[in-house]
Structure 1
Amino acid sequence: MILFLAGTSDARELAVQIQTSGFPLLATVVTENGAKELRQAGVEVQVGRLSDQEIASLVKEKGFHLVVDASHPFAEEASKNAKSGASIAGVPYIRYEREQLDYENELVIKVDSYEEAAEAAAEKGGVVFLATGSKTLEIFAAKLLPLPDIRLIARMLPRLDNMEKCEKLGIPQKNIVAIQGPFTKEFNTALFRQYGVTVMISKESGKEGSVDEKLDAAIDLGIQTIMIGRPKIQYGTVYSSFGNIIEHIRNLLVPIK
């Protein structure tokens, strides 16, 4: 049995492929929406965030032989907990990490943190399109909302808690784009034009995260992009392809026919 952290749509696809290959697993997800997709595919799911001690306890309780971490590239805490939990429980840990895309363009500014991104946007001014979700919204709201020469447009999932957060932070409804992706280049282009965007902030989440669709649209329109680099984590054993992950599992475990 495998304990599998499924943080993205491609991770959920990987979970299904692993189970289809004869390796039963329990997938952990943060949201009920992600759980629903996996249950429909016949994968056992547990909803909720887990500390490293909770992961270790779960591994021992259920008799898992391996931890596969396919959490989001920016879910730094989840990856650290998964790696630590596996170590505490004494089982192997492997990481599925989306391939990184190389963005070399004069319109792209690369930074290492949300705080640096907010600082860079503050210096640019204009209409800032925030495509980093709601989790770190406070950082950008605190830095950018007080500035008179900046209009902050925030795109996020259409969830009640996100709308409540925007209200609490003082982001007006007219500046909220509540919609679920993925988004095409054409859609992003239309959105950027609609709001007159001059600066776009994004995380480097890889092609699977549709970063290229956002970036290509921004570059074509001459929009300055601030790209936040991924957390620097020493994962150890890490792969960027489903095939390599499943091959590694086959070398560790015997499939169940």
Structure 2
Amino acid sequence: MRVLLLGGTTEARRLAGLVAGEFTVVTSLAGRTTDPLLPAGEVRIGGFGGVDGLAGYLRDERIDVVVDATHPFAATMSGHAFDACAALGVPLLILRRPGWTAGAGDEWHRVASLPEAAQTLPRLGRRVFLTTGRQGLALFAGLDGCWFLARSVEPPAGVMPRHLEVLLDRGPFTVEGERELITRHRIDVLVTKDSGGADAKLVAARELGVPVLMVNRPPAPPATTVSTADAAVSWLRARGR
């Protein structure tokens, strides 16, 4: 069985490792980082050219099933995968880790989008730990009353906030390290996306009493969805039989 795995997440890499040798798996990466963490098996890097390009790839490569294990905020790619699979009758599975739920001691303010986060932010704080990715920095560029610590894997480019310090780093991070970072920079608000998974910065923010501005996930396509790589393996094996 030939599987196209739309990857770029920890879950995608784990799934590729679990089924290596059992199925023919091609992991597709968007190519937004210059040194991505590569999974087991065959890898392709770059876009497909929209729905039609992806459908053409599925036909040309005789793909039997698609697993969408992209980032929960990769809404465009997920939409293209759903439309291309629907057009060709190719089975699609979505692998998404669960989102976060606020607990005792958390002060979370949920918003629907990054633009709404930029509008809401000045009411919550002035020294901002911004962990929403380098591509959204321009949305915060007009907030001259705020100072930003922005963390990303790749250096940002384009329009950026006037008062900005960039920290180039890649996780996983520890609670101790995040607590020290927030304290050292006198952070009074954390801005992040509801990506899910273990997250040390949320624990550190709770312990330090720092409010969190949380951007909600976009809705996922109406396809079969699982939350773990193990569940995705079971689904693939059922299809393979």
User: Is the pair's TM-score, using the shorter chain for normalization, greater than 0.5?
Assistant: yes
SS of the equivalent of 1:33 reads coil
Return the alpha-carbon distance in structure 1 between the equivalents of residues 160 and 114 of structure 2: 17
- Determine the C-alpha separation between the residues in 1 that align with 2:86 and 2:20: 23
Supply the distance in 1 between the matched residues of 2:11 and 2:231 (Cα, whole angstroms): 15
Shift of 1:106: 5.1
Contact 2:140 2:160 survives alignment (8 Å): no
Which residue in 2 is equivalent to 1:180? 170
TM-score (structure 2 length as normaliser): 0.91
Give the corresponding residue for 1:81.
Answer: 80
Partner residue of 1:72? 71
- Look up the equivalent residue of 1:8 and give its one-letter code: T
Matched letter for residue 84 of structure 2: G
2:130/2:151 contact within 8 Å kept: yes
Deviation string, structure 1 residues 55-82 (Cα, Å, up to 9, x no partner): 1101100111111100001111111111
* Alpha-carbon distance, 1:171 to partner: 4.3
- The SS at the match of 1:25 is strand
What is the alpha-carbon distance in structure 2 between the residues aligned to residue 221 and residue 107 of structure 1?
11
Task: List alignment gaps of at least 5 residues for structure 1.
Answer: none
| CA positional deviation for 1:85 | 1.4
SS in 2 for 1:74: coil
1:47 paired residue number: 45
Aligned to 1:219: 206
**Quick check: 1:28–1:46 contact (8 Å CA) kept in 2?**
yes
Distance 2:141 2:9 in 1: 26
Of 194, 215, 221, the residue aligned with 1:204 is 194
Aligned residue in 1 for 2:226:
239
CA RMSD of aligned residues (A): 1.8
Q: Would the aligned equivalents of 2:151 and 2:167 in 1 still touch at CA under 8 Å?
A: yes
TM-score after normalising by structure 1: 0.85
The answer to whether the Cα contact below 8 Å between 1:14 and 1:242 also exists between their aligned partners in 2 is yes
Q: 1:217 to 1:88 in 2, by over 3 A?
A: same
Distance 1:233 1:9 in 2: 18
Answer whether contact 1:6 1:15 (CA < 8 A) is retained: no
Partner of 1:140: 140
Q: How much has 1:182 moved relative to structure 2?
A: 1.6
Q: In the comparison of the two structures, how many residue pairs are matched?
A: 236
Percent of residue pairs identical: 28
Shift of 1:9: 2.5
CA contact (8 A) 2:11 2:228 kept: no
Deviation at 1:234, TM superposition (A): 3.0
Q: Which runs of 5+ in 2 are unaligned?
A: none
Higher helix share: 1
- 2:64, 2:90 within 8 Å by CA — same for their partners in 1? yes
In the TM superposition, residue 233 of structure 1 has moved relative to its aligned partner by 2.1
AA at the equivalent of 1:152: F
Matched, 1:122 2:122: yes
Residues 82 and 221 of structure 2 are in contact (CA less than 8 Å); yes or no, is this contact kept in structure 1? Answer: no
Contact 2:79/2:221, CA 8 A, preserved across alignment: no
Residue 169 of structure 1 aligns to which amino acid in structure 2? M
